[in-house]
Amino acid sequence: MIQISALPAFTDNYIWLLQDHSTQRCAVVDPGDAAPVEAWLAARPGWVLSDILITHHHHDHVGGVEILKRATDATVYGPASEHIPARDVALKDNDRISVLGWEFDVFAVPGHTLGHIAFYHHGLLFCGDTLFAAGCGRLFEGTPQQMYTSLTRLAALPEDTLVYCTHEYTLSNLRFAVAVEPGNSDTVERLAKVRQMREAGIMTLPSTLALEKLTNPFLRAGETSIKQKVDERSGTDNSSPSAVFAALRAWKDKF
């Protein structure tokens, strides 16, 4: 059985740590900083970092890779179309890899960056900065249509899938979600719960796809209530869910 823990980094990043206690091998996802991983390993003699999984090229996701690679000789997996330091295995859409005995499917999910990928093992999704709890990543490189397509693909996974994104943005995302859908009782309830969790210093991740589909406006762009709210705010008729998504993302950027 593999245990998954979060190593906090910077102000709001999480480095996901997968641990196989039977072999004392572990893997990390998006180590933007080597120090939290090095500290974890130093406190546990005998453990070996065998794999490093990277979703995209931004520094807060890859900054620790080269240090960890030199210290451990872990295998580094990352998107083929982006510059990933010390990458050993270049991944593209629909590739499959084995990490700690688990098979992971690789999905291309462009939008936040053009080469962004996600890793999926039945019931688990490591999605970097594409899908957030109650939100989605900014469009630094891709188009709204690309990001909407990527989110739609992830939303089609089983509803009990645990969503391991890489930032603690849930509270601010839910404030926006309530502004978009003030009548959504699920979102209002989730905001109250998350506010209490953050005041107590409790992390809000992982989420589930079922919860995201109830409360994440970016996965709900096809809902009439959201279209009406966005149309009213923009003064235009956003005729498709992808157009609603684009208007939502632009609104969130200034929220």
For this structure, is 73 an active site residue? Answer: no
Q: Given 20, 51, 112, 116, which residue is catalytic?
A: 112
For this structure, is 112 an active site residue? Answer: yes
Spatial separation of the C-alpha atoms in residues 160 and 153, rounded to whole Å: 15
167 is in an annotated binding site: yes
DSSP characters over 119-175: EEETTEEEEETTEETTEE---SSS-HHHHHHHHHHHHTS-TT-EEEESB--HHHHHH
Q: Given 60, 105, 121, 160, which residue is catalytic?
A: 60
For this structure, is 57 an active site residue? Answer: no
For this structure, is 167 an active site residue? Answer: yes
Q: Given 30, 56, 57, 116, which residue is catalytic?
A: 56
CB crowding 207-240: b at 16 or more within 10 Å, else e: bbbebbebbbbbbbbebeebbebbbeebeeebee
Q: Given 167, 231, 237, 253, which residue is catalytic?
A: 167
112 is in an annotated binding site: yes
For this structure, is 58 an active site residue? Answer: yes
129 is in an annotated binding site: yes
| Listed residue (33, 249, 37) closest to 130, CA to CA | 249
60 is in an annotated binding site: yes
For this structure, is 122 an active site residue? Answer: no
For this structure, is 83 an active site residue? Answer: no
58 is in an annotated binding site: yes
The set of catalytic residues is: 56, 58, 60-61, 112, 129, 167
Binding residues for Zn(2+): 56, 58, 60-61, 112, 129, 167
Binding residues: 56, 58, 60-61, 112, 129, 167
